[in-house]
C-alpha cells in the first residue's frame, strides 16, 4: 500500500483551507491513520488538535507530543481517567476534553478528580445521540440531567455539546439527508438549551459544538452556523479523519468535495493505492492477484483496479474496466473484460474504499512521488 505525497499534501491543505474559510476548527480524527507523523502535519496546517476514540490512542498522542486531544468517546476507565488528570496537572500546555452521556460517567470522572485534588479543570462535552444510534443522550432531558450532574462536580467543566452524524447513513438519499439535518438541528438545540440554563461554560473562545466526519461536514457547518442564543456564536469543532487520504470508493462518491455537484474550489485526491501482482489467469476473464483481506479494506466496497504495468517499468495503463468480485485472505479475484489483457506477473494498482480500515493493514507505508519513487515512510501504530 502506497501513499501519494502530493495527494496527501493536497488533502491536508484543502480541509485546512475549508475550515479557515468557514470560520470553524478541526480536530482530525486520529483513529483513521494512527500515524503521529500525519497528526503533526495536520496540526501544522492549522488543526486545533487531534480527536481519538480510545485511551490507548490518547497515550499515543501524548507520547507523540500532541498537546490538544479530544476523546470523541465516553471515558469510563478509572485508571485512564486518573492518568489523564495527572497529565493535566503536570503539563499546563496539555488540553483535553471528552464526551460524557450519563450520570454514571460523570461520577467516574468525579471520583478521579476527588482522588487527585488537582486545580486543573477537567473538560467534557455532553454527547447527544439519536434513536437506534451509538452512544449519546437520546433526549434534551437526558442531556440536561447529565449536564446538571457534571456542573455540580467541583473541577468538572461542561464546555459544549457533541454528536456524530456519520453513522446515520452512507448515501445521499433524501431520507438520510433529512435525518442528518434533523439530528444536527437537535444537537444545536440541546446546545442552546444548556447554554440558556447556564449549564455550559465558555472555555475561552465560545461554547463548543462538535460533530462532522468526512461525509456530512458541510451539513454540520450549516446547522451549527446559527447562534446558540442571540449574539452567541458557537465554536464549531469538526472531526473528519478519512479526508486525509480520501479514497476511490465510498468517500469519493459521498464527500462534499468530490460527489456529483461538489463544492467548487475544494478538491480531495485519493492518496492510497494497493499494489499486487497477477499470480494466475486460469480461466478466460479471470486474473488472481496477490492482494487479499490482509492487505486492503473490503468493508465498504471491494478494491478498485485502476492501473496496471508490465514488468518492472512498463508504462501504466488504465484497467478501470476490470473489477474485483471476491477477496480471500491473500488473493483478489479480478474480473477482466474481453478486450483487457492482464498477464501473469503484471502489477495492478488498486484504489481503496474506506480509509479507516486501510491504514491498519500496514505498519509502514511508503510515500511516493509522481514518478513512484519512495521519498518517505509513514509509520502507523495499530
CB 172 within 8 A of CB 259: yes
The β-bridge partners of 277 are: 347
Taking the complex as a whole, the smallest distance from the CB of residue 318 to ligand PLP amounts, in Å, to: 28
Residue the block writes with cell 471476491: 326
Q: Which is nearer to ligand PLP, 33 or 362 (CB)?
A: 33
Instruction: Rounding to the nearest 10 degrees, give the CA dihedral for residues 219, 224, 225, 227.
Output: 160
Q: DSSP states of 62-103 as a string?
A: HHTT--EEEEEEE---HHHHHHHHHHHHH-TT-EEEEEE-SH
Taking the complex as a whole, the smallest distance from the CB of residue 190 to ligand PLP amounts, in Å, to: 16
Taking the complex as a whole, the smallest distance from the CB of residue 129 to ligand PLP amounts, in Å, to: 11
Taking the C-alpha atoms of residue 309 and residue 315, their distance in angstroms, rounded to an integer, is: 6
Taking the complex as a whole, the smallest distance from the CB of residue 164 to ligand PLP amounts, in Å, to: 4
Taking the complex as a whole, the smallest distance from the CB of residue 127 to ligand PLP amounts, in Å, to: 9
Residue 59 neighbours by CB under 8 Å, 6+ apart: none
Q: Which is nearer to ligand PLP, 32 or 192 (CB)?
A: 32
Q: Which is nearer to ligand PLP, 129 or 292 (CB)?
A: 129
Q: Which is nearer to ligand PLP, 155 or 167 (CB)?
A: 167
Taking the complex as a whole, the smallest distance from the CB of residue 53 to ligand PLP amounts, in Å, to: 7
Q: Which is nearer to ligand PLP, 212 or 292 (CB)?
A: 212
The β-bridge partners of 372 are: none
Taking the complex as a whole, the smallest distance from the CB of residue 302 to ligand PLP amounts, in Å, to: 19
Residue nearest ligand PLP, CB atom distance: 213
Q: In what order do the strands lie in the sheet with 50-52?
A: 25-26, 235-238, 208-210, 156-162, 122-127, 95-100, 68-74, 50-52
Taking the C-alpha atoms of residue 271 and residue 11, their distance in angstroms, rounded to an integer, is: 9
Closest residue by Cα to residue 31 from 272, 210, 250, 240: 240
b/e code 226-252 from CB counts within 10 Å (16+ = b)? eebeeeebbbbbbbbbbbbbbbbbbbb
What are the backbone dihedrals phi and psi of residue 203, each rounded to the nearest 5 degrees, phi first?
Answer: -85, 5
- Binding footprint of ligand PLP on the chain (CB under 6 A): 29, 32, 72, 164, 166, 213-215, 239-242, 356
Taking the complex as a whole, the smallest distance from the CB of residue 366 to ligand PLP amounts, in Å, to: 23
Q: Which is nearer to ligand PLP, 27 or 159 (CB)?
A: 27
Q: Which is nearer to ligand PLP, 15 or 291 (CB)?
A: 15
Q: Which is nearer to ligand PLP, 77 or 111 (CB)?
A: 77
Amino acid at each position: 500500500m502506497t501513499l501519494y505525497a502530493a495527494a496527501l499534501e493536497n488533502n491536508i491543505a484543502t480541509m485546512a483551507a475549508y475550515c479557515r474559510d468557514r470560520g470553524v476548527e478541526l480536530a482530525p480524527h486520529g483513529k483513521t491513520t494512527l500515524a503521529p507523523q500525519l497528526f503533526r502535519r495536520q496540526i501544522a496546517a492549522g488543526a486545533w488538535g487531534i480527536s481519538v476514540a480510545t485511551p490507548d490512542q490518547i497515550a499515543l498522542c501524548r507520547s507523540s507530543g500532541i498537546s490538544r486531544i479530544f476523546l470523541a468517546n465516553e471515558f469510563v476507565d478509572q485508571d485512564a481517567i486518573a492518568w489523564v488528570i495527572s497529565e493535566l496537572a503536570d503539563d499546563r500546555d496539555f488540553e483535553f476534553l471528552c464526551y460524557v452521556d450519563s450520570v454514571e460517567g460523570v461520577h467516574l470522572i468525579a471520583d478521579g478528580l476527588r482522588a487527585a485534588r488537582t486545580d486543573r479543570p477537567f473538560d467534557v462535552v455532553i454527547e447527544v445521540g439519536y434513536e437506534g444510534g451509538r452512544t449519546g443522550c437520546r433526549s434534551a432531558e437526558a442531556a440536561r440531567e447529565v449536564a446538571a450532574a457534571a456542573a455540580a462536580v467541583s473541577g468538572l467543566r461542561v464546555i459544549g455539546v457533541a454528536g456524530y452524524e456519520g453513522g446515520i447513513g452512507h448515501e445521499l438519499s433524501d431520507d438520510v439527508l433529512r435525518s442528518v439535518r434533523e439530528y444536527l438541528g437537535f444537537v444545536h438545540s440541546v446546545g442552546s438549551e444548556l447554554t440558556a440554563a447556564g449549564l455550559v461554560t465558555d472555555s475561552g473562545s465560545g461554547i463548543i459544538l462538535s460533530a462532522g466526519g468526512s461525509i456530512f461536514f458541510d451539513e454540520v457547518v450549516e446547522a451549527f452556523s446559527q447562534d446558540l442564543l442571540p449574539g452567541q456564536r458557537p465554536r464549531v469543532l469538526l472531526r473528519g479523519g478519512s479526508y486525509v487520504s480520501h479514497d476511490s470508493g465510498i468517500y469519493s462518491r459521498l464527500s462534499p468535495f468530490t460527489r456529483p455537484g461538489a463544492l467548487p474550489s475544494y478538491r480531495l485526491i485519493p492518496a492510497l493505492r494497493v499494489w499486487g501482482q497477477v499470480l494466475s489467469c486460469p480461466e478466460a476473464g479471470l486474473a488472481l492477484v496477490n492482494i487479499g483481506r490482509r492487505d486492503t479494506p473490503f468493508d465498504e466496497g471491494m478494491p478498485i483496479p485502476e492501473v496496471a504495468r508490465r514488468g518492472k517499468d512498463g508504462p501504466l495503463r488504465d484497467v478501470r474496466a476490470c473489477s474485483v468480485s471476491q477477496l480471500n485472505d491473500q488473493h483478489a479475484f479480478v474480473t477482466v473484460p474481453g478486450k483487457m489483457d492482464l498477464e501473469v506477473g503484471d502489477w495492478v494498482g488498486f484504489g481503496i474504499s474506506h480509509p479507516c480500515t486501510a491504514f491498519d493493514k500496514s505498519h509502514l507505508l511508503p510515500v511516493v512521488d509522481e514518478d513512484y519513487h519512495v521519498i518517505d515512510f509513514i509509520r502507523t501504530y495499530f
